[in-house]
Amino acid sequence: MKKTFFACLALAIAASVTAAPAATPAAKQSDDPQKAFSFIKNPDGMIQEQARVVFDQARKVLSAHPPSAKPGAERQLALFALDSLLHDTRLDKGPAFTEFMEDLARRVAVALAAKPGVPLRIIRFYNHGFILQTPSVTLAIDIVRGGKRVITGVDEEPFIDLELMRPIVERCDALFVSHPHNDHADLGLARLFLEAGKPVVASPGLWENVSPLIIRPRSADATAPVDFTLALPSLKKPLVVRAYPGHQGKVPNNLYAITTPEGKTILHSGDQTGGGDDLPWLLKIREQLRVDVFLPQCWMARLPLVVEGVAPALVLPGHENEMGHTIDHRESYWQTMRRVQKLSVPVIITAWGEHVDVR
């Protein structure tokens, strides 16, 4: 009886070892299995491996608890875990963060490979980048690879290799760029669109000497919205777009209101400050357009007031955890949750790589 018991136990242990997940890079470096668990005298290795574990677990929890206007405790805790990782400067540009960002690009490329079965799917990319996907057209707004310090351009090495972005560009029909700051405008990525003969729509003054193919719908001194259309090979009729003459401080910042062929209108804020001389027309957008989805940056000044002026059916904030800033300006998901509590419309907070379907 004892022999049978121990034989079964040995088989069970062997099976569990066979079924164990693939070894992490730290474990592969040695034939000693104990070194997969011990990081004595290797604190940097410990921090990186711990980050891999938490990034992976957060992704699993978010997958099991997808975006919702009423997120449960599990989803909130997973977002807070990402906040903690993305505010730990020891991880900046380390292998764990790099792998996380590269995985983001791969997952988005896979998601774009199939057309959605809904009128509109909004895919969150890094920072304030979004991809609008419909059965007939796919549009990128402010998608960047990251890596540069905001405004100054210091630290040129991007988080995501350009080749990893190529499959995403191939599946998009056009790129919209709201304003010149590096966390919204990626010249390397824009060149991929231009090389493929795909339109790039930009704000006044951005990349003036790069290509005559870049479309700038409004001038820097414009005070009224400009309506224009984009002829795209995938569409029978041109795409209808309105560029509002916004600003981030004194920097021209286009707010794009895009109406898809399926009849959904999406308004992306760029980094519109929210106040100043632009406030009067911001508060009247509801009188001009029926906005289905508003994509504001989470830190917008007077956000509740602007949301009232836009009157969207749904708000999807962005810009959390922009890594080009110091940690005090890497806006956290928990901060966004506090900021949107008093908004009068449904709000869905998304992590990078997630999507929301709009019916």
Domain ranges of the chain: 43-358
Q: For residue 92, how many other CB atoms are within 10 A of its CB? A: 13
Mean pLDDT of the chain: 90
Instruction: Supply the pLDDT for residue 199.
Output: 96
Share of the chain above pLDDT 90, in %: 84
pLDDT interval class at 154 (50, 70, 90): low
Pairing of strands 293-295, 265-268: parallel
Which secondary structure element, helix H or strand E, spans residue 265, and what is its range?
strand 265-268
pTM: 0.89
Please write the tens of the pLDDT for every residue from 319-346: 999 998 999 999 999 999 999 998 999 9
Please write the tens of the pLDDT for every residue from 254-291: 999 999 999 999 999 999 999 889 999 999 999 999 99
Starting at the earlier edge strand, list the strands of the sheet with 200-201. 200-201, 174-176, 138-141, 130-133, 120-124, 355-358
Q: Which of 48-62, 116-130, 137-151, 274-288 has the lowest mean pLDDT?
A: 137-151
Whether the pLDDT of residue 11 is over 80: the answer is no
Sign of CA dihedral 127, 132, 138, 141: negative
pLDDT interval class at 24 (50, 70, 90): very low
* Cβ proximity of 242 and 229 under 8 Å: no
What's the one-letter identity of residue 223? Answer: T
**Exposure string over 156-188, b if 16+ CB within 10 A, otherwise e:** eebbbeeebbebbbebbbbbbbbbbbbbbbbee
> How many CA atoms lie within 13 Å of 353's alpha carbon, on the beta-carbon side?
19
Share of the chain above pLDDT 70, in %: 88
Enumerate residues 6+ apart whose C-beta is below 8 A from 163.
Answer: none
Q: Among candidates 346, 223, 226, which has minimal Cα distance to 293? A: 346
Instruction: Supply the pLDDT for residue 34.
Output: 62
pLDDT interval class at 149 (50, 70, 90): low
pLDDT interval class at 63 (50, 70, 90): very high
Helix (H, G, I), strand (E, B) or coil at 355: strand
Is 15 or 63 the better-scoring residue by pLDDT? 63
C-alpha to C-alpha distance for 335 and 343, rounded to whole angstroms: 14
Average pLDDT score over residue span 160-178: 98
* Cβ proximity of 181 and 170 under 8 Å: no
Average pLDDT score over residue span 303-311: 97
Enumerate residues 6+ apart whose C-beta is below 8 A from 166.
Answer: 192
Instruction: Supply the pLDDT for residue 157.
Output: 82
- Partners of 247 in the β-ladder: 252
C-alpha to C-alpha distance for 150 and 182, rounded to whole angstroms: 5
pLDDT interval class at 147 (50, 70, 90): confident
Specify whether domain 43-358 bears CATH 3.30.420.10. Answer: no
C-alpha to C-alpha distance for 84 and 78, rounded to whole angstroms: 10
Average pLDDT score over residue span 147-151: 67
Q: Distance between alpha carbon 77 and the CA centroid of its chain, in Å?
A: 19
Region of 348 on the Ramachandran plot (φ > 0 left; ψ -120 to 50 alpha; else beta): beta
Q: Which of 10-14, 50-54, 283-287, 333-337 has the lowest mean pLDDT?
A: 10-14
Enumerate residues 6+ apart whose C-beta is below 8 A from 71.
Answer: 65, 79, 349
Instruction: Supply the pLDDT for residue 37.
Output: 81
Whether the pLDDT of residue 293 is over 50: the answer is yes
Instruction: Supply the pLDDT for residue 286.
Output: 98
Q: Distance between alpha carbon 104 and the CA centroid of its chain, in Å?
A: 9
